Structure 1
Amino acid sequence: MKHIVAVSDKKQLGKFIDFPHELYKADANYVPELFIAQQDMLTPGKHPFHKHSSLQTFLAYDGERIVGRIAAIQNNNHNTINGVNDGFFGFFDCINDQETADLLLNTAANWLKERKLDTMVGPVNFSTNDICALLIEGFDGPPVAMMPYNAPYYLSLLEKAGFHKKVDLRAYRFTAGNYNDRSSKLVTALQERLTRSNIVIRKINVKNFKQEAAAIREVYNKAWDKNLGFVPMTNEEFDYTAKDLKMIMDPDFCLLAEQDGKIVGFALAVPDINQVLIKIKRGRLFPTGLYKLLTQKSKIQGIRILLLGVVDGYRKMGIEACLYGLIIQAFQKKKMTYAEASWTLDHNDLINKPIEQIGGELYRKYRILEKNLN
């Protein structure tokens, strides 16, 4: 008989984190999340999200066998900043069974209703600053760094449970030699033009990482403030994320646009660490995972262009093209084979058209869904 258990201790949390490994053990494209990172994220006191918001994780059982998991999430900062009353669901994984999916989703919905929230949005793991959305097109390979992955049947489970599209997200792929590198060739001219406005583009100073990260945080929160459902990171949340990114970051792919010492834009591409994580069994760093992480990081052949933002008043000056061009130059110099630009909003032509013009291939789509709780 199927039933739900609310996760309430460390042992159950371990089972919650490990469930996807069982579900996808025959799927060659599945990339396990690092266990320690997931444990910290979901443990109050470990991740700064828990200082302003709350969640409850649940496991679905069929007899003694785990058949699904979900988290019900109340993100107070999201609701305050956007003037909404949303609830989220995240960390959703389920066998291909509608009864199980309904049981999980209804349990999460009831938790959100008890907190008088009006809508249920997801999958979103805390906020759109974190891993979010459902893969709906492009199941032919592993996800790149910090992008979601799920079986194709998830969309049907959610739609039959009453969820409908809120927004679609896009991922574009570039392959070596198969893109327009005009912006790369124009970098020198673009930089000279920007210099006349006292704007310079430089690599991040890793030795002064803390101060650099604080400046980037300010730009990040300003540059994305009009994006759908965006919620600025708290200082602690940004520092937490920056600390994680620093471990995989390549300074050649972290660029800052600066005018008279003030950061006005930045771009960040990260090595596709999933090329290594896919080989780390069940996301465990010990006994062999850490060795693989340390020794194989230099062999990564791809990047994810994760962020590119310019604050109001500095857009359309050529900063964006210059940042892209410098990333392409670094990509070429390192003889990498692929890059993914992700994610972008489906309707954001201001970003999507330039990506397509330089040869980006729309190869994956993701969806955030919602359902009214009233």
Structure 2
Amino acid sequence: MATLPLSIRPVATKRDRKAFIDIAYRLNSDDPNWVPPLKAEEAGKIDPKKNGWFSHAIAQLFIATRGDQVVGRISAHIDTLALTLPPEQGFGPGVGCWGMVEAEDRNVWRALISAAEGWLKQQGMTRALGPISLSVWEEPGLLVEGHDHPPTVMMGHHKPHYQEWVEEAGYQGVKTLYTYELDITKQFPPIVQRIVAAGEKNGRITIRKVNKAKFADEAALILAILNDAWSDNWGFVPLTQPEIDDVGKKLKPIVFEDLIRIAEVDGEPVAFMITLPDLNEAIKPLNGNLLPFGWAKLLLWLRAPKVRTMRVPLMGVVKRMQASRLASQLALMMIEYIRRDAVTNFGATRGEIGWILDDNQGMRSIAEIIECTVNKRYEIYERTL
């Protein structure tokens, strides 16, 4: 029986958008460690009206078909803010991206990458980075190590053979991202306990919980620290207010005051740490659907979540204090306070920190001093167009 010809077409209709979302569920259905995202969230991610990232970005989605069957998908996109950044920080003029890629076989993969690259070249791009889905703040990188356990909330998961396929397409790794895990039921090493105790005796230092009643004000404060703290990092693109507004709506249900800390020195906010209960533990059994009863189960879980894992997606210390002993002390104090509350109030036993850039020696040193181990590795690839 002859193989049906492969076709790649731009996503143009509501039916196409549904097919773009649904193919991920079919191709990953045999992977026990893949967590089916909520389809409503996936639809919002690719909708310019619901994703604030589109206020400074453009994207073209593609689906691959053989006959009537969808066999793959990919996004090609350009972040106009990223184009203005220094090239040594990863982006810069002429850099476009691709992501959200799923493929039934290597021929589909090649065709999808080719379609994405073709669109990027039409837009005047000269270099491609991928996978980045869609914003660098969402799910950057291809999982290349750690396929044997599920991802935590807002982290990606990919088939192991995708690494071979992307490298066959002429891409080379440009940046590695790590996540670290640890047993949070155990006390930290004595040296960490001494550093925390010393900080508690320092009258200049205050570590406070966020006030959810002032959610917008607290989010603005954290954003200001974040955009300063991360501004020299590889791949940094400033978060904009439309993005903060949309992310705030999505994350507010899993924002708990005792899991987010702000550190102040002499009354000035200088650092923060955000921790999220692993929502993936609750949504995995739903298979992407809130109906008919998924919404009720999720709502019940959100009222008083009990989880195995807590994820730390973001930490930051203002730039002028980075590399100082005080910065490390503030970080360790926030980690210890949140560790205690995560265990006591949420029943958590495991923490995951990341992602962390391979050249972020400050954060990697903190992960090591609290005796974390690398549990997942993601790679961002590049190729000249």
Please give the TM-score of this superposition, normalised by the length of structure 1: 0.94
Aligned partner letter, 2:112:
L
In 2: Cα distance, 1:252 partner to 1:111 partner: 45
Aligned to 1:42: 46
- Cα drift, residue 180 of structure 1: 2.6
Note if 1:371 corresponds to 2:383: yes
1:321 aligns with 2:332: yes
Q: Distance in 1 between matches of 2:103 and 2:128?
A: 18
Query: Aligned partners of 1:312, 1:292: CA distance in 2, in Å?
Result: 42
Q: Report how far residue 285 of structure 1 moved.
A: 1.4
Is 1:230 paired with 2:242? no
- Indicate the residue corresponding to 1:302 in structure 2: 309
Structure 2 match to 1:3: 7
Choose which of 262, 278, 291 in structure 2 pairs with 1:286: 291
Quick one: which amino acid aligns to residue 292 of structure 1?
K
Question: Alpha-carbon deviations, 1:222-276, whole Å to 9, x = none?
Answer: 1111110100011111121122221112211100112455421100010011001
Greater Cα shift, 328-337 or 285-294? 328-337
Task: Look up the match of 1:159.
Answer: 167
Who is 2:279 aligned against?
273
The letter of the residue matching 1:154 is Y
Secondary structure class of the residue paired with 2:85:
helix
| 1:124-273 pair list within 5 angstroms | 124-177=132-185, 180-182=188-190, 183=192, 186-193=195-202, 195-196=203-204, 199-259=205-265, 261-273=267-279
Report what 1:67 is aligned to.
71
Q: Distance in 2 between matches of 1:178 and 1:152?
A: 32
1:311 aligns with 2:324: no
Closer, same or farther: CA 300–242 of 1 in aligned 2, 3 Å: same
Q: Could you tell me how far apart the structure 1 residues matched to 2:187 and 2:283 are?
A: 28
One-letter code aligned to 2:319: D
Go from structure 1 to structure 2 and tell me whether the alpha carbon gap of 1:49 and 1:84 turns closer, same or farther (over 3 Å shift). Answer: same
Q: Equivalents in 1 of 2:193, 2:23: separation in Å? A: 44
User: Cα distance 1:307–1:135, how it changes in 2: closer, same or farther (>3 A)?
Assistant: same
- Partner of 1:299, secondary structure, is coil
Q: 1:58 aligns with which of 58, 62, 76?
A: 62
Q: Shift of the alpha carbon at 1:39?
A: 1.1
Once the two structures are superposed, residues 296-331 of structure 1 have per-residue CA deviations (whole angstroms, 9 ceiling, x without a partner) of 342222100111100022333121121122122223
Tell me which residue corresponds to 2:98. Answer: 89
The one-letter amino acid of 2:318's match is: V
Once superposed, what is the RMSD of the aligned Cα atoms? Answer: 1.6
Q: Is the 8 A contact 1:71 1:91 kept in 2?
A: yes
Pick the aligned partner of 2:123 from 107, 115, 121: 115
Percent identity reads: 32
- Cα shift at 1:164: 0.8
Deviation larger for 199-208 or 328-337: 328-337
Q: How many residue pairs were aligned?
A: 368
Asked if the contact 1:40–1:47 (Cα under 8 Å) also holds between the matched residues in 2, the reply is yes
Per the TM alignment, residue 18 of structure 1 is displaced from its structure 2 partner at its CA by 1.2
- Give the Cα–Cα distance (whole angstroms) in 1 for the partners of residues 241 and 194 of structure 2: 37
CA distance in 2: counterparts of 1:301 and 1:337, whole angstroms: 5
1:17 is the counterpart of 2:25: no
Amino acid of the residue matched to residue 100 of structure 2?
F
Structure-1 separation of matches of 2:269 and 2:14: 42
**Where do 5+ consecutive residues of structure 1 fail to align?**
none
Q: 1:253 to 1:90 in 2, by over 3 A?
A: same
Over residues 6-52 of structure 1, what are the superposed CA-to-partner deviations in whole Å (9 max), with x where a residue is unaligned? 11111210111111110111211111111112212211222222222
Q: Which moved more, 1:176-185 or 1:204-213?
A: 176-185
Q: Secondary structure at the match of 2:250?
A: helix
Is the Cα contact below 8 Å between 1:180 and 1:358 reproduced in 2?
yes
Q: Tell whether the 8 Å contact from 1:179 to 1:359 is kept in structure 2 after alignment.
A: no
> Which residue identity is paired with 1:110?
G
Q: Secondary structure at the match of 2:232?
A: coil
Structure 2: tracts of 5 or more residues without a match: 87-91
Q: Does 1:331 align with 2:334?
A: no
Q: CA deviation at 1:209?
A: 0.6
